[in-house]
Amino acid sequence: MKKLTFVMAAIFMCGCLFTACSKKDAASSDIIKIGVFEPMTGANAAGGALEVEGIRLANELFPTVTVDGKEYKVELVIVDNKSDKVEAANAAQRLVDREKVKVILGSWGSGFSIAAGPIVQDAKVPALGLSCTNPLVTQGNPYYFRVCFIDPFQGTVMATYAHQNLGATNAVIIREVSNDYSVGLAKFFTDTFKELTGNPNSILAELNYNTGDQDFTAQLTTIRANNPAVIFAPGNYTESALIMKQARELGITAPFLGGDTWETPELIDVGKEAVEGCVLSTFFDAGGATSALAKTFLSEYDKQYHKEPAAVTALGFDGYRLALDAIMRANSLDTTKIRDALAATKDFEGVAGNVTLDENGDATKSAFIKTVKDGKFSYLTIVNP
Protein backbone atom coordinates (compact mmCIF):
# COMPACT_ATOMS: atom_id res chain seq x y z
CA MET A 1 0.00 0.00 0.00
CA LYS A 2 2.81 2.37 0.92
CA LYS A 3 4.58 1.50 -2.34
CA LEU A 4 1.42 2.21 -4.36
CA THR A 5 0.90 5.52 -2.58
CA PHE A 6 4.51 6.52 -3.34
CA VAL A 7 4.09 5.66 -7.03
CA MET A 8 0.85 7.60 -7.27
CA ALA A 9 2.48 10.60 -5.57
CA ALA A 10 5.40 10.44 -7.96
CA ILE A 11 3.04 10.32 -10.94
CA PHE A 12 1.13 13.29 -9.52
CA MET A 13 4.32 15.31 -9.06
CA CYS A 14 5.50 14.53 -12.57
CA GLY A 15 2.12 15.57 -13.88
CA CYS A 16 2.33 18.87 -12.02
CA LEU A 17 5.86 19.44 -13.27
CA PHE A 18 4.81 18.69 -16.85
CA THR A 19 1.87 21.09 -16.53
CA ALA A 20 4.10 23.81 -15.11
CA CYS A 21 6.63 23.32 -17.87
CA SER A 22 3.90 23.35 -20.48
CA LYS A 23 2.52 26.60 -19.10
CA LYS A 24 6.01 28.09 -19.04
CA ASP A 25 6.68 26.98 -22.61
CA ALA A 26 3.33 28.37 -23.71
CA ALA A 27 4.07 31.65 -21.99
CA SER A 28 7.52 31.82 -23.58
CA SER A 29 6.02 31.22 -27.02
CA ASP A 30 3.87 34.33 -26.57
CA ILE A 31 6.87 36.62 -25.95
CA ILE A 32 9.20 38.45 -28.32
CA LYS A 33 12.41 39.73 -26.78
CA ILE A 34 14.00 43.00 -27.81
CA GLY A 35 17.52 43.50 -26.51
CA VAL A 36 18.87 46.80 -25.22
CA PHE A 37 22.56 47.37 -24.53
CA GLU A 38 23.35 50.73 -23.00
CA PRO A 39 25.88 52.27 -20.60
CA MET A 40 23.94 52.12 -17.34
CA THR A 41 27.08 52.54 -15.24
CA GLY A 42 30.43 54.21 -15.89
CA ALA A 43 31.35 57.48 -17.62
CA ASN A 44 28.42 57.43 -20.07
CA ALA A 45 25.68 56.26 -17.72
CA ALA A 46 23.62 59.45 -17.91
CA GLY A 47 23.33 59.18 -21.70
CA GLY A 48 22.40 55.51 -21.55
CA ALA A 49 19.74 56.18 -18.92
CA LEU A 50 18.12 58.85 -21.11
CA GLU A 51 17.82 56.47 -24.06
CA VAL A 52 16.39 53.72 -21.85
CA GLU A 53 13.72 56.12 -20.57
CA GLY A 54 12.43 56.51 -24.12
CA ILE A 55 12.58 52.77 -24.82
CA ARG A 56 10.73 51.90 -21.62
CA LEU A 57 8.03 54.49 -22.28
CA ALA A 58 7.48 53.14 -25.79
CA ASN A 59 7.27 49.61 -24.43
CA GLU A 60 4.60 50.69 -21.93
CA LEU A 61 2.54 52.42 -24.63
CA PHE A 62 3.10 49.71 -27.27
CA PRO A 63 3.56 46.47 -25.31
CA THR A 64 2.53 44.00 -28.01
CA VAL A 65 3.18 43.18 -31.66
CA THR A 66 1.16 41.04 -34.06
CA VAL A 67 2.94 38.55 -36.33
CA ASP A 68 1.09 36.25 -38.72
CA GLY A 69 -2.19 36.89 -36.90
CA LYS A 70 -0.78 36.15 -33.43
CA GLU A 71 -0.26 38.77 -30.75
CA TYR A 72 3.03 38.66 -28.82
CA LYS A 73 4.03 40.48 -25.67
CA VAL A 74 7.28 42.44 -26.14
CA GLU A 75 9.80 41.89 -23.38
CA LEU A 76 12.79 44.24 -23.00
CA VAL A 77 16.08 42.64 -22.03
CA ILE A 78 18.34 45.46 -20.85
CA VAL A 79 22.05 44.76 -20.41
CA ASP A 80 24.62 47.22 -19.03
CA ASN A 81 27.63 47.69 -21.32
CA LYS A 82 29.36 49.55 -18.46
CA SER A 83 30.66 52.35 -20.73
CA ASP A 84 33.29 49.94 -22.01
CA LYS A 85 33.92 48.62 -25.54
CA VAL A 86 34.79 45.08 -24.41
CA GLU A 87 31.71 44.95 -22.19
CA ALA A 88 29.62 46.27 -25.09
CA ALA A 89 30.68 43.31 -27.23
CA ASN A 90 29.99 40.96 -24.30
CA ALA A 91 26.54 42.50 -23.80
CA ALA A 92 25.64 42.03 -27.46
CA GLN A 93 26.91 38.43 -27.34
CA ARG A 94 24.72 37.69 -24.34
CA LEU A 95 21.67 39.16 -26.03
CA VAL A 96 22.03 37.03 -29.17
CA ASP A 97 23.29 33.81 -27.56
CA ARG A 98 21.50 33.55 -24.24
CA GLU A 99 18.47 35.81 -24.60
CA LYS A 100 17.68 35.03 -28.26
CA VAL A 101 16.47 38.56 -28.96
CA LYS A 102 14.96 39.47 -32.33
CA VAL A 103 16.28 43.05 -32.49
CA ILE A 104 18.90 44.96 -30.47
CA LEU A 105 18.62 48.67 -29.58
CA GLY A 106 21.64 50.84 -28.74
CA SER A 107 24.09 52.03 -27.82
CA TRP A 108 24.64 55.56 -26.58
CA GLY A 109 28.26 56.06 -27.64
CA SER A 110 29.40 55.15 -31.14
CA GLY A 111 32.44 53.23 -29.89
CA PHE A 112 30.23 50.79 -28.01
CA SER A 113 28.02 50.27 -31.06
CA ILE A 114 31.05 49.71 -33.29
CA ALA A 115 32.37 47.11 -30.82
CA ALA A 116 29.07 45.23 -30.97
CA GLY A 117 28.88 45.36 -34.76
CA PRO A 118 30.69 42.09 -35.57
CA ILE A 119 28.59 40.25 -32.97
CA VAL A 120 25.23 41.18 -34.48
CA GLN A 121 26.49 40.64 -38.03
CA ASP A 122 27.78 37.14 -37.28
CA ALA A 123 24.58 36.24 -35.42
CA LYS A 124 22.40 37.79 -38.15
CA VAL A 125 20.39 39.73 -35.56
CA PRO A 126 19.56 43.30 -36.62
CA ALA A 127 20.68 46.17 -34.40
CA LEU A 128 19.18 49.63 -34.42
CA GLY A 129 21.35 52.48 -33.18
CA LEU A 130 19.57 55.38 -31.54
CA SER A 131 22.12 58.20 -31.18
CA CYS A 132 25.39 56.60 -32.33
CA THR A 133 26.44 58.99 -35.11
CA ASN A 134 29.86 57.71 -36.24
CA PRO A 135 29.66 56.43 -39.86
CA LEU A 136 31.62 53.29 -38.91
CA VAL A 137 28.64 51.97 -36.91
CA THR A 138 26.80 50.91 -40.07
CA GLN A 139 29.59 50.95 -42.63
CA GLY A 140 29.99 47.51 -44.19
CA ASN A 141 27.54 45.98 -41.71
CA PRO A 142 24.20 44.99 -43.28
CA TYR A 143 22.75 44.19 -39.84
CA TYR A 144 23.30 47.61 -38.21
CA PHE A 145 20.93 50.54 -38.76
CA ARG A 146 20.23 53.82 -36.97
CA VAL A 147 17.46 56.39 -36.47
CA CYS A 148 19.78 59.41 -36.06
CA PHE A 149 21.76 61.54 -38.50
CA ILE A 150 25.50 60.87 -38.84
CA ASP A 151 28.63 62.83 -38.02
CA PRO A 152 29.51 64.09 -41.52
CA PHE A 153 26.21 66.00 -41.48
CA GLN A 154 26.57 67.05 -37.84
CA GLY A 155 30.17 68.20 -38.38
CA THR A 156 29.14 70.17 -41.45
CA VAL A 157 26.27 71.79 -39.55
CA MET A 158 28.48 73.00 -36.70
CA ALA A 159 31.30 74.20 -38.97
CA THR A 160 28.77 76.13 -41.04
CA TYR A 161 27.23 77.62 -37.89
CA ALA A 162 30.68 78.70 -36.66
CA HIS A 163 31.60 80.34 -39.96
CA GLN A 164 28.28 81.83 -41.04
CA ASN A 165 26.44 82.56 -37.79
CA LEU A 166 29.43 83.48 -35.63
CA GLY A 167 31.64 84.87 -38.37
CA ALA A 168 34.57 82.73 -37.24
CA THR A 169 37.59 82.56 -39.55
CA ASN A 170 39.67 80.34 -37.28
CA ALA A 171 39.07 77.68 -34.64
CA VAL A 172 40.74 75.29 -32.22
CA ILE A 173 39.74 71.64 -31.85
CA ILE A 174 39.90 69.84 -28.51
CA ARG A 175 38.82 66.22 -28.86
CA GLU A 176 38.38 63.16 -26.67
CA VAL A 177 40.94 61.02 -28.49
CA SER A 178 39.80 57.76 -26.83
CA ASN A 179 36.24 58.32 -28.10
CA ASP A 180 35.44 57.28 -31.71
CA TYR A 181 32.52 59.71 -31.78
CA SER A 182 34.65 62.69 -30.77
CA VAL A 183 37.49 61.92 -33.16
CA GLY A 184 35.15 61.43 -36.10
CA LEU A 185 33.10 64.55 -35.44
CA ALA A 186 36.25 66.66 -35.04
CA LYS A 187 37.49 65.48 -38.45
CA PHE A 188 34.25 66.35 -40.24
CA PHE A 189 34.14 69.78 -38.58
CA THR A 190 37.76 70.40 -39.55
CA ASP A 191 37.29 69.40 -43.19
CA THR A 192 34.20 71.56 -43.65
CA PHE A 193 35.61 74.55 -41.76
CA LYS A 194 38.76 74.63 -43.90
CA GLU A 195 36.64 74.45 -47.03
CA LEU A 196 34.31 77.25 -45.88
CA THR A 197 37.12 79.59 -44.88
CA GLY A 198 39.26 78.73 -47.89
CA ASN A 199 42.22 78.60 -45.51
CA PRO A 200 44.02 75.28 -44.89
CA ASN A 201 45.52 76.83 -41.73
CA SER A 202 42.20 77.99 -40.24
CA ILE A 203 42.39 75.27 -37.57
CA LEU A 204 44.98 76.78 -35.26
CA ALA A 205 45.51 73.69 -33.09
CA GLU A 206 44.14 70.17 -32.59
CA LEU A 207 44.42 69.09 -28.96
CA ASN A 208 43.65 65.74 -27.33
CA TYR A 209 42.55 64.35 -23.98
CA ASN A 210 41.34 60.97 -22.72
CA THR A 211 38.01 59.85 -21.30
CA GLY A 212 38.04 60.41 -17.56
CA ASP A 213 40.59 63.24 -17.56
CA GLN A 214 39.83 66.07 -15.14
CA ASP A 215 42.70 68.52 -15.53
CA PHE A 216 42.91 70.30 -18.90
CA THR A 217 45.39 73.03 -17.98
CA ALA A 218 47.96 72.09 -20.63
CA GLN A 219 45.45 72.02 -23.49
CA LEU A 220 43.73 75.22 -22.36
CA THR A 221 47.03 77.06 -22.03
CA THR A 222 47.67 76.29 -25.70
CA ILE A 223 44.17 77.43 -26.60
CA ARG A 224 44.63 80.71 -24.76
CA ALA A 225 47.91 81.32 -26.59
CA ASN A 226 46.19 80.79 -29.97
CA ASN A 227 43.23 83.05 -29.10
CA PRO A 228 40.74 81.31 -31.46
CA ALA A 229 37.43 82.74 -32.61
CA VAL A 230 35.66 79.51 -31.62
CA ILE A 231 36.49 76.24 -29.84
CA PHE A 232 35.00 72.99 -31.12
CA ALA A 233 34.97 70.40 -28.33
CA PRO A 234 32.91 67.33 -29.29
CA GLY A 235 33.25 65.01 -26.32
CA ASN A 236 31.46 63.43 -23.41
CA TYR A 237 29.30 65.75 -21.32
CA THR A 238 31.31 65.55 -18.08
CA GLU A 239 34.73 66.23 -19.58
CA SER A 240 33.30 68.92 -21.87
CA ALA A 241 31.71 70.71 -18.92
CA LEU A 242 35.00 70.62 -17.02
CA ILE A 243 36.86 71.96 -20.05
CA MET A 244 34.48 74.92 -20.32
CA LYS A 245 34.64 75.57 -16.59
CA GLN A 246 38.43 75.56 -16.49
CA ALA A 247 38.61 77.63 -19.69
CA ARG A 248 36.53 80.41 -18.17
CA GLU A 249 38.69 80.31 -15.04
CA LEU A 250 41.73 80.90 -17.27
CA GLY A 251 40.05 83.89 -18.91
CA ILE A 252 39.24 82.21 -22.23
CA THR A 253 36.11 83.86 -23.62
CA ALA A 254 35.77 82.22 -27.06
CA PRO A 255 32.44 80.43 -27.62
CA PHE A 256 32.37 76.64 -27.27
CA LEU A 257 30.63 74.44 -29.84
CA GLY A 258 29.84 70.74 -29.45
CA GLY A 259 27.67 67.85 -30.55
CA ASP A 260 24.66 65.88 -29.40
CA THR A 261 26.43 64.28 -26.41
CA TRP A 262 26.25 67.59 -24.60
CA GLU A 263 22.48 67.48 -24.24
CA THR A 264 22.29 65.94 -20.79
CA PRO A 265 21.45 67.66 -17.47
CA GLU A 266 24.92 66.69 -16.22
CA LEU A 267 26.58 69.17 -18.62
CA ILE A 268 24.79 72.02 -16.84
CA ASP A 269 25.10 70.46 -13.37
CA VAL A 270 28.90 70.16 -13.71
CA GLY A 271 29.64 73.27 -15.78
CA LYS A 272 27.07 75.60 -14.20
CA GLU A 273 27.46 79.20 -15.44
CA ALA A 274 30.56 78.27 -17.46
CA VAL A 275 28.43 76.42 -20.04
CA GLU A 276 26.10 79.40 -20.59
CA GLY A 277 26.10 80.31 -24.27
CA CYS A 278 27.64 77.07 -25.53
CA VAL A 279 26.08 75.81 -28.76
CA LEU A 280 25.37 72.20 -29.74
CA SER A 281 23.70 70.17 -32.46
CA THR A 282 21.10 67.61 -31.49
CA PHE A 283 18.22 65.48 -32.78
CA PHE A 284 15.00 66.88 -31.34
CA ASP A 285 13.34 69.82 -29.67
CA ALA A 286 10.01 69.69 -27.87
CA GLY A 287 9.04 73.06 -29.33
CA GLY A 288 8.99 71.55 -32.80
CA ALA A 289 6.89 68.55 -31.79
CA THR A 290 3.53 69.16 -33.47
CA SER A 291 2.30 65.71 -34.54
CA ALA A 292 -0.25 63.75 -32.52
CA LEU A 293 2.39 61.08 -31.84
CA ALA A 294 4.88 63.67 -30.57
CA LYS A 295 2.27 65.26 -28.32
CA THR A 296 1.41 61.84 -26.87
CA PHE A 297 5.11 61.17 -26.25
CA LEU A 298 5.61 64.52 -24.50
CA SER A 299 2.47 64.14 -22.40
CA GLU A 300 3.22 60.59 -21.28
CA TYR A 301 6.87 61.39 -20.60
CA ASP A 302 5.89 64.38 -18.46
CA LYS A 303 3.50 62.21 -16.42
CA GLN A 304 6.33 59.85 -15.52
CA TYR A 305 9.39 62.08 -15.29
CA HIS A 306 8.03 65.63 -14.83
CA LYS A 307 10.64 67.16 -17.11
CA GLU A 308 11.29 67.86 -20.78
CA PRO A 309 12.76 64.84 -22.59
CA ALA A 310 16.27 64.85 -24.01
CA ALA A 311 16.66 64.34 -27.75
CA VAL A 312 18.13 60.86 -27.23
CA THR A 313 15.06 59.91 -25.20
CA ALA A 314 12.91 60.70 -28.22
CA LEU A 315 15.26 58.58 -30.34
CA GLY A 316 14.90 55.69 -27.89
CA PHE A 317 11.13 55.97 -28.24
CA ASP A 318 11.40 56.03 -32.04
CA GLY A 319 13.88 53.15 -32.20
CA TYR A 320 11.64 50.81 -30.21
CA ARG A 321 8.63 51.66 -32.38
CA LEU A 322 10.60 51.17 -35.60
CA ALA A 323 11.75 47.75 -34.35
CA LEU A 324 8.12 46.72 -33.84
CA ASP A 325 7.15 48.19 -37.18
CA ALA A 326 9.86 46.15 -38.93
CA ILE A 327 8.75 42.95 -37.19
CA MET A 328 5.17 43.53 -38.32
CA ARG A 329 6.22 44.38 -41.88
CA ALA A 330 8.36 41.25 -41.98
CA ASN A 331 5.38 39.33 -40.56
CA SER A 332 7.95 36.90 -39.27
CA LEU A 333 10.16 36.16 -36.27
CA ASP A 334 13.05 35.31 -38.57
CA THR A 335 15.77 37.87 -37.83
CA THR A 336 17.01 38.02 -41.42
CA LYS A 337 13.50 38.89 -42.62
CA ILE A 338 13.27 41.53 -39.89
CA ARG A 339 16.61 42.92 -41.10
CA ASP A 340 15.26 43.10 -44.63
CA ALA A 341 12.19 44.96 -43.42
CA LEU A 342 14.36 47.46 -41.54
CA ALA A 343 16.47 48.04 -44.64
CA ALA A 344 13.29 48.90 -46.59
CA THR A 345 12.14 51.54 -44.07
CA LYS A 346 10.73 54.62 -45.76
CA ASP A 347 8.89 57.61 -44.27
CA PHE A 348 8.41 55.98 -40.87
CA GLU A 349 6.78 58.52 -38.56
CA GLY A 350 8.96 59.29 -35.57
CA VAL A 351 8.74 61.76 -32.72
CA ALA A 352 12.15 63.12 -33.72
CA GLY A 353 11.24 63.30 -37.42
CA ASN A 354 10.38 60.79 -40.09
CA VAL A 355 12.87 58.02 -40.83
CA THR A 356 13.94 56.82 -44.24
CA LEU A 357 16.99 54.55 -44.22
CA ASP A 358 19.52 54.85 -47.04
CA GLU A 359 21.64 52.09 -48.58
CA ASN A 360 24.00 52.22 -45.59
CA GLY A 361 21.21 51.90 -43.03
CA ASP A 362 21.55 55.57 -42.02
CA ALA A 363 18.67 57.97 -41.44
CA THR A 364 18.49 61.29 -43.26
CA LYS A 365 17.36 63.72 -40.56
CA SER A 366 17.37 67.43 -39.72
CA ALA A 367 19.63 68.82 -36.98
CA PHE A 368 18.43 71.08 -34.18
CA ILE A 369 20.81 73.76 -32.92
CA LYS A 370 20.51 74.62 -29.23
CA THR A 371 22.30 76.77 -26.70
CA VAL A 372 22.38 76.87 -22.90
CA LYS A 373 20.49 79.90 -21.67
CA ASP A 374 19.65 80.63 -18.03
CA GLY A 375 20.67 77.11 -17.04
CA LYS A 376 18.47 75.37 -19.62
CA PHE A 377 18.82 74.04 -23.16
CA SER A 378 17.19 76.52 -25.51
CA TYR A 379 16.27 76.11 -29.19
CA LEU A 380 18.11 78.31 -31.71
CA THR A 381 17.38 76.99 -35.20
CA ILE A 382 16.95 73.88 -37.34
CA VAL A 383 19.20 72.80 -40.21
CA ASN A 384 17.83 70.49 -42.90
CA PRO A 385 20.01 68.03 -44.80
Q: Is 334 helix (H, G, I), strand (E, B) or coil?
A: coil
Position 28 scores a pLDDT of 58
pLDDT in tens, the chain (385 residues): 444 343 344 434 444 444 444 444 445 579 999 999 999 999 999 999 999 999 999 999 999 999 999 999 999 999 999 999 999 999 999 999 999 999 999 999 999 999 999 999 999 999 999 999 999 999 999 999 999 999 999 999 999 999 999 999 999 999 999 988 999 999 999 999 999 999 999 999 999 999 999 999 999 999 999 999 999 999 999 999 999 999 999 999 999 999 999 999 999 999 999 999 999 999 998 877 778 999 999 999 999 999 989 999 999 999 999 999 999 999 999 999 999 999 999 999 999 988 999 999 999 888 889 999 999 999 998 887 7
Q: In terms of C-beta density within 10 A (0-12 exposed, 13-18 middle, 19 or more buried), how is residue 332 classed?
A: middle
Position 286 scores a pLDDT of 86
- Alpha-carbon distance 57 to 359, whole Å? 30
Give, as one character, the DSSP assignment of residue 139: T
E strand segments, the chain? 31-38, 64-67, 70-80, 103-105, 127-129, 144-146, 171-176, 203-209, 230-232, 256-258, 279-282, 367-373, 376-383
C-alpha dihedral sign at 100, 124, 130, 234:
positive
- Alpha-carbon distance 320 to 54, whole Å? 8
Q: Is the peptide bond before 83 cis (omega within 30 degrees of 0)?
A: no
Position 352 scores a pLDDT of 92
First to last CA, the chain: 84
Position 344 scores a pLDDT of 98
Position 6 scores a pLDDT of 39
E strand segments, 201-269? 203-209, 230-232, 256-258
Position 12 scores a pLDDT of 43
